[in-house]
Amino acid sequence: MAKPLIVGNWKMFGRCADLAEIGALAAGLGGAVQRIDAVICPPSVYIAAAAALARGGPIAVGAQDCSIEHANAARTGEVSAAMLAEAGARYCIVGHSERRANHGEEGAAVRAKAEAALAAGLIPVVCVGETRPEREAGRAVDAVRAQVREAVPETDLPLAIAYEPVWAIGGDRPPAAAEIAAVHAAVRALNGRARILYGGAVGPANAAEIFAIANVDGALVGRASLKAADFAAIILSHPAAG
């Protein structure tokens, strides 16, 4: 079984003072962190400070996005994967539904970002997930399959895929276990190597149930990753935490 991967996506939350949560999280995890990869993805402006705080400890730092450009380029406002790696990031989320919805990123651009992350030595966490109309039309599995085919690069390097139903993100209820299992099985059939994470409304109260689902190798957590106590409770509810 793959080493579980649990990634906290702070989105545009968390200020400098909140980076102290990283120390609190490390302290709260104890020995569990040797058996689980735990990652915090703060806003990019805080990555270097977060990495300095996390250095030598059990928590890795990741980014929430990167440019499709591999080298330095005239891309005002963008940050390359190489710069993120230099700042101390080891992971990079790409294709989050908020980027797809707010910045028009689709399959080819997401794949290009994942490739840029891989080229910089980062582990991409490629997000996929159906919308509510797709779910209601019975097209969830097909929609996710299509996104995986479009956005996930072929590679032998470490890479994660996060299944995040768009309608569950920011809500209070993930899909039923059987629905998560069906999508994860379909993603696994397409990609036997990647760690497949579930994301969307994961919290301390439902994490254990989600981690018990077949082909769920971890989680991508939004709101509940902002407070060390909540995020530690999620990580410690994984069976690998012992």
State the catalytic residues: 96, 164
At 44, phi and psi to the nearest 5?
Answer: -60, -30
Is the Cβ of residue 135 or residue 223 nearer to ligand PGA in the bound state? 223
- Which member of 85, 201, 226, 236 binds ligand PGA (CB under 6 A)? 201
Per-residue H/E/C for 188-229: HHHCCCCEEEEECCCCCCCHHHHHCCCCCCEEEECHHHCCHH
- Which member of 222, 230, 235, 238 binds ligand PGA (CB under 6 A)? 222
What's the rounded Cα separation, in Å, for the pair 142 and 160?
A: 19
List the Cα angle 22/26/53 in 5-degree steps: 45
> Closest distance between ligand PGA and the C-beta of residue 158, in Å?
20
Residue 211 CA from chain centroid, whole number: 15
Site stretch for ligand PGA (CB under 6 A), options 51-59, 163-171, 205-213, 230-238: 163-171
Closest to 129 measured CA to CA, from 115, 105, 148, 102 = 148
> Closest distance between ligand PGA and the C-beta of residue 74, in Å?
30
Site stretch for ligand PGA (CB under 6 A), options 41-49, 78-86, 111-119, 214-222: 214-222
What's the rounded Cα separation, in Å, for the pair 67 and 62?
A: 14
Shortest Cβ contact with ligand PGA: which residue?
222
- Which member of 94, 169, 235, 241 binds ligand PGA (CB under 6 A)? 169
Q: Which of residues 7-66 bind ligand PGA (CB under 6 A)?
A: 9
